[in-house]
Amino acid sequence: MKLLTLNFLTCAIKSCKTSPASFPLHPRDAELEIVEADVNLAFLQNILPRLMWAELRTIASELGLPTLPEDIPEREALVEGRGEGEGEGEGGEQIPSQTAKDLHRVLLETCIQEGKLVCGNCGHEYAVKEGVANFLLPGHLV
């Protein structure tokens, strides 16, 4: 599963939802795999406003990934210096900056293949196997 997905997930136990500690889920004993994909600049720019940046930084550091910048990048920082004299309008394809490539690597290419996702509130562990996270709860926890 992609790290971006963790941006939208929380503990499945109802009573945890109101606790801030239930987000993000913390990866533990994670085996990572890099699955290469094309960079989609427009998507990266438009997903920025939805990212929980501080939490994403926590996840990245827990996984031992390179430290993410303290502040979330600006949209403009994802584009390599624009071509000059192109005037306004569509022009050519914009070129992703190194910041964009790094973000793309973390969000969309870094996948948890095996491991656990742990709720910071109740401690429940959700297993990830063959890249699929299992959020099904035993009957007594539903």
Least distance to other proteins from the beta carbon of 46, Å? 4
Q: Tell me how many degrees the CA angle 10-39-33 measures, rounded to the nearest 5.
A: 55
State yes or no: residue 103 binds other proteins (CB under 8 A). no
Q: Is the peptide bond preceding residue 73 cis, with omega within 30 degrees of 0? A: no
Question: Any bridge partners for residue 2, and if so which?
Answer: 111
Task: Pick the binder of other proteins from 19, 32, 47, 114 (CB under 8 A).
Answer: 47
State yes or no: residue 11 binds other proteins (CB under 8 A). yes
Task: Identify which of 27, 4, 25, 8 has the alpha carbon closest to the alpha carbon of residue 16.
Answer: 25
Instruction: By CB under 8 A, name the binding residues for other proteins.
Output: 1-2, 4-5, 8-12, 14, 17, 23, 40, 42-43, 45-47, 49-50, 108, 126, 130-137, 139, 142
